[in-house]
Every structure is written in structure tokens, then in C-alpha cells.
Amino acid sequence: MSTTEASIDFPALFTPLQVGTHTIQNRIGMSALTRNRATGTYPTELMKEYFVQRARGGNGLIVTDGILITRQGTEWQNAPGIWDEKHISGWKTVTDGVHEAGSKIYAQLWHLGRISHPDAPEQKLAGVPVYAPSAISARGGKFRFLPGQPGYTTPTELDESTIWKLIGQYKQAAVNAKAAGFDGVELHGANGYLIAQFLDNSSNHRSDQWGGSAENRARFGLEVLKVFKKVFGQDVAIRVSPAGGYNDVGMPIDDTIETFSYFLSEADKLGLAYITFIRYSSYFDIEIDGVHRSTKFDVLETLRPFIKNAKVFLNAGVTPGEGQQYISEGKIDGIMIGFHMITHPDYANRVKNGKPLDNVPNYQYTQRNLSDEDWYTGYTDYPFAK
């Protein structure tokens, strides 16, 4: 973005938007980003500062990092959780700060499914296996903190009773998010984690009511959205990545369209606040055995017609110019910004005031496990525009 551009160039981005029961000040949201800064899974004052910076920076909607609904053996040992009172009180300081700074904040609720390791300390503390729809391992992974840096392992297939227990854990996480003062919850349905594993026929080979047809593979995600609705009413959202790729999911184009057209149309009937599309991105198109894993297609053009009620946000390298165009054309209602929101806490204000996006990324500290002394590096030390 050049220094001569300002909000006059992007007027559609700077109009208020009704999202569920809340009005956000503009059409710019901060997407969920794993930053790996929660000490022992608990939110910290540093995390509060990080989110408040982005609220002060004029961004209308903040979505948290993916928040683990239970103990899980993630590759990110300092990912945050929300299963006990200490989590709730920690997140309450975050939400209070964001509200005081003028923004709304959603909690993204996250279960990894097979993208965990049974030997990870948190998984051992959980005392349960690594669960997934089917006993099919994702290819890849690297648990750098374990001896030999192993990859993903074959998970334990969920039985019927455990599926319903997981749905109950999602509901409890939403209850906790409500107690912590969040304005809404976003279901992490993207990037090859548990919801996506149920949806995808490469990771879900079940023959019961939770697998097989598109309707059955969509069932788990829809049931989770329903229990969220019982807690948050209209203030429930979901993020999806139909092009797949990341964490070894992805289907042929016909299966992709059949699955997501059904899932999104049924989810939309529930009365959601918004649905975020992650469009195809080479960043998520991992290569396995010499083959790119994503299904490359125009996600927005293909699947937008199936959403009649929820607001629609677009994510993955979206520019202010694209946001202006797509909002003006009625294709989307807002944009979700990821990487630029890491490096520019005042992203919305920069766009509004014609300031360049010129902070230099500190790639080394985007998600890296750091010593306790320098967790702020690459996290809260990016400057605001002058």
C-alpha cells in the first residue's frame, strides 16, 4: 500500500458492520494466529498487551489464537487453553482490555484431533489417546521438543460415546468463553484439525452416522455449532479452508464442492454471525511425496452462493483493494488479516490514514518457543505508524 492511499480509497472497509448481536466499527478483522506465548497454556499480561495493541490499532474484530478446549499434545507447547478457572480469569483480563480499547473479540475454539502426539507432556497429562475420526495418520509433522523430533502417529478412532463427550467439551469451552467475557466464539473448522478431519474423506473413513456421505461427514461440525448456539446464540462463527492442503487434508474438486456446499448451507441455516473463508494459498499447499496437497480452486466464487444469512469474511493474503472491491460487489462483508496483523498492530488505522505497511517481519520469532525473558520479541515490539 502506498503512502498516498487512505480511507477515501477504501470507503467500504470503514463502514460499521452488524456481526451477530454486536456492531463492529469497520470491516477489518484480525484472524486467529498461533503465537505460542501462553505460559503453561494460561493467558498472560503480555498476551493482553498484544491483543489490546491490535484493538487500539483500530481493527474492528479481534479473533484470538486457536484456544485448546482440552489438554492436547500440540506441537505448540505454549498454545493457550480454556478448560479451568485460571484460564477464564486470564482471558477475562484480555477481553476487558480489548473492550476498553474499542474492539470486539471472539475466542477461536480448537481441537487438533490427530495433529497431536501421544508422548507430548500435555497429552500425557490429559490421560487419553490422540483421537480422530479414523485411525489414519496425517503425513508430516515435527515435534521438536520430543526426542528424535518425531512426526504424527496413527490416532485412535473415536467411538460414539467419546464423540459425544468431545461435543460436550466444546460446549464447556464455549461456556468458559462466555464467562471470560468474549463477544462470541469461532469454531476452528480449518487447516486439517478435528472438524476438518471429519469433513474430509481422506481422513474420515467411517461407515456410521459420522462418516461416508457428505451429510454424515458434516454432522460432527454441525453438532458442535449447535451446542455453541445454546451458549452464545447469534454470536457463533466458523472458519473453514475448503481448498485443504495444510496438515494433510484435501479432496478432489467434486468431493470438495459436494461436501462444503452441504456443510456451509446447513451451518448457515443455524443463524451464524459470520463464516470466514480461507481461500487457496500456496502457503497452505504443502507438498507430500512430490505432490501438492491442496485442491486449487476459487473458494469464494464457488461456495459463496451457499451462504444466505451469515456475514462472510475472506482470509489469506487479502489486500485492502480486494476488500474494497469484493465488499462493493456484495461478495463479502469484511476481510480477515493474518500476517500483516502480526507485524502491524495498527493495520486498520494505517490503511485508513494512508500509512505504509512497512514494519520488517521478525520471522524467527513468529511462533518460536522463546526463553521467558524475550517472549515480547516479534510479538509486542512492532511499532505503530507515526
Residues acting as catalytic residues: 193
Q: Which of 108, 112, 109, 150 is nearest to 131 (CA)?
A: 112
DSSP code at position 108: E
Taking the C-alpha atoms of residue 274 and residue 221, their distance in angstroms, rounded to an integer, is 15
C-alpha cell at 153: 502417529
CA distances 134 to 74, 158, 204, Å, are 19, 7, 5
Q: Which residues pair with 132 in a beta bridge?
A: 157
Sequential DSSP letters for 63-105 = EEEEEESS----S-TT--B-SSHHHHHHHHHHHHHHHHTT-EE
Largest interatomic CA distance in the chain: 59
C-alpha cell at 290: 512430490
Taking the C-alpha atoms of residue 384 and residue 41, their distance in angstroms, rounded to an integer, is 28
